[in-house]
Amino acid sequence: MNALEQKFAQTVKEQKSTIYTVCYMFSKDADEVNDLFQETLINLWKGFESFENRSDVRTWIYRVALNTCISVDRKKRRNPLSFLKGKDEQRLSMGINLFEDRDEDTRQVDMLHKRIAKLQPFDRAIVLLWLENLPYEEIGQIVGISTKNVSVRLFRIREQLKNMSND
């Protein structure tokens, strides 16, 4: 393994929960999460060498993961039968499975996840970043909007989530 590959592997190891969290917010089942995770890793690798450290690596990873998940979500909506066909290559293990945890807290999280899944992809991205306790300024940098716009959108999203049913 060369130095670039080692650095990439270390970065993925340090940030895999961030990647997984983003993928989890855009999926309804474990297989989709795994596919999104793999697709995100591919996109991260494609851009890793050109990453210029103008932002924190975590911010860059969030942006790549969100863009990947939103892009795949759009493709899936346009042509649901072709969603990530042919992805039989060897998978990396994430070491995390939120689908198997079933305590009371997990039921609450699952209910929130179902409501968030009903949001538009851009709003899901904002909520995810907010739930990760990122400051509004960093959320704005990741999704490409102003800090004030983040505040306004989060207010509207929270109202939307409150008004949703538990179905």
Question: CA-to-CA distance for 142 and 60, rounded, in angstroms?
Answer: 7
pLDDT at 160 over 70: yes
Higher pLDDT, 85 or 37: 37
Instruction: Express each pLDDT in 96-140 by its tens digit.
Output: 555 555 556 667 777 777 888 888 989 999 998 998 889 999 999
> Which residues in 11-165 belong to E strands, given as ranges?
none
Determine which helix (DSSP H) or strand (DSSP E) holds 13, and give its type and residue range.
helix 3-25
| Pair 44, 64: CB distance under 8 Å | yes
Q: Please compute the mean of the pLDDT values over residues 137-146 and round it to a whole number.
A: 92
Residue 89 predicted with pLDDT over 70: no
Give the model's confidence band at 64: pLDDT under 50 very low, under 70 low, under 90 confident, else very high. Answer: very high
Is the Cβ–Cβ distance between 21 and 128 less than 8 Å?
Answer: yes
Are the CB atoms for 153 and 145 separated by under 8 Å?
yes
- pLDDT tens readout for residues 8-24: 999 999 999 889 888 88
